[in-house]
Amino acid sequence: MHNNFGLKWDTTYEWRVVALLSLGFGLVGIDRFMIMPLFPVMMTDLHLDYQDLGHITGALSVAWGISAIFMGNLSDRIGHRKVIIPAIVLFSLLAGLSGLATGVGTLILIRAVMGLAEGAYTPTSITATLDASKPSRHGRNIGIQQAALPLFGLGLAPILVTQLLKILPWHLIFAVVSLPGLLVAYLLYRALRNTKASTAALHTAAPDVSDPKWTDVFRYRNIPLNIVGMLCWLTCLVVLSALFPSYLIDYLHLGMQQMGYVLSAIGFGGTLGTLIMPALSDRFGRKPVMIVSVIGAGVFLTLLTGTGANPTLLFTYLMFTLFFVFSMITLTVGPLSAESVPPKLMTTASGLVVGIGEIFGGGLAPAIAGYVAKHFGIQYIMYLGLVALAVGFVVTLCLKETAPSRSSAAAPVVAH
């Protein structure tokens, strides 16, 4: 199979690497989100409250964000292999250690260090996926790789964890999930290559720059827009994943298994949105897909806010809300960031968008939501998500198109 540039494309390598990087990101999802359905049980054992959950979730996000900013740039300098493989080993071991936590302090510490490893993996694995992919398959392959996080972390983990609780104490459940990560790290060690600069140039719409500084990414219009957009999408996601289980049990009075079922909608909706919408953006353009997604998310979140204790309706509206939210997250951290900058800044750009979004959207949002839930009532957290989507809508209207099929005739994506 040949691509537009007359080079032979290694499709076998492309699929093998995309599959392994997807598995790695799926494990990031499990390690990060499995604590949510376990939290109602851990609350009793470790004497925690909603505010603690906000801090625990926030600590991981802030560490993830700081790490993504610096490790993305490091990966552009030393190659992805040296970042990706140690990161998987580290976050897998730390996920197991979460089970040994004795209180809010140790839990925050373990989750923060785990966030550092996962933050290193995230932007680096996005660029490694783009590098392995034929340019006309960017959106689809990034979609496949990113879909693993909601599928494993938010779709399968709540069901798996709530079932495992019947036979294992919560401490041991953390240990069980850390093992697959070590296997994936070994397989990537065998398979993953570092990409040559000449190949990297095929994956971006921006012209090459000989010796770019990392701050140059801000000169490309989409990057500041993507940072603001990411804050909005993550605020929405974090509110719905971190505090929603407690909303279902404490406010709508659903049972533990019903909560697990409703919560799994986040994963299945997120997975479908991540697989379908970025693939459509390869054909129709990134910007139209973003605009449709932000409107869709707003409509279904509004419907969700008005739904009572009806598990089927809650599942349906939650699924469609996250279908569109994950579509926007994937396009923002992947194609819309990496395709907007020169090859030597691709991971730096993605890392900055992921990082700043995580620190503020993922770090501050749960703390604010925890405060709102504690002082005003947990039902008011949904309005934080709606405000974030309204701001995000304005951002999507200002984006510049980067899809290879659409932007080849357009000017370079630089802000003057």
CATH of the domain at 299: 1.20.1250.20
Residue 6 lies inside a defined structural domain of this protein: no
**Could you give the number of structural domains in the chain?**
1
Residue 250 lies inside a defined structural domain of this protein: yes
Q: What's the pLDDT tens digit per position in 293-330?
A: 999 999 999 999 889 889 999 999 999 999 999 999 99
Residue 414 lies inside a defined structural domain of this protein: no
Instruction: Tell me how far the alpha carbon of residue 115 is from its chain's centroid.
Output: 12
Whole-angstrom distance, CA of residue 311 vs CA of residue 43: 24
Query: Could you count the other beta carbons within 10 Å of the beta carbon of residue 252?
Result: 18
Percentage of the chain modeled with pLDDT above 90: 35
Q: Which two tokens stand for residue 193?
A: 């290559």
Q: What's the pLDDT tens digit per position in 357-382?
A: 888 877 788 888 888 888 888 888 88
Q: Which sign, positive or negative, has the C-alpha torsion 364, 368, 371, 377?
A: negative
Residue 27 lies inside a defined structural domain of this protein: yes
Residue 177 belongs to what domain range? 11-407
Residue 415 lies inside a defined structural domain of this protein: no
Residue of 388, 246, 255 whose CA lies nearest to 329: 388
Question: In this predicted structure, what is the pLDDT of residue 244?
Answer: 85
| SS3 state of residue 8 | strand
188, 88 contact by CB (below 8 A): yes
- Rounded (5°) CA angle 246-233-370: 30
Question: In this predicted structure, what is the pLDDT of residue 53?
Answer: 80
Whether the per-residue pLDDT at 414 is higher than 60: the answer is no
Residue 163 lies inside a defined structural domain of this protein: yes
Question: In this predicted structure, what is the pLDDT of residue 207?
Answer: 57
Residue 383 lies inside a defined structural domain of this protein: yes
Q: Which two tokens stand for residue 259?
A: 């909560």
Residue 70 lies inside a defined structural domain of this protein: yes
Question: In this predicted structure, what is the pLDDT of residue 360?
Answer: 84
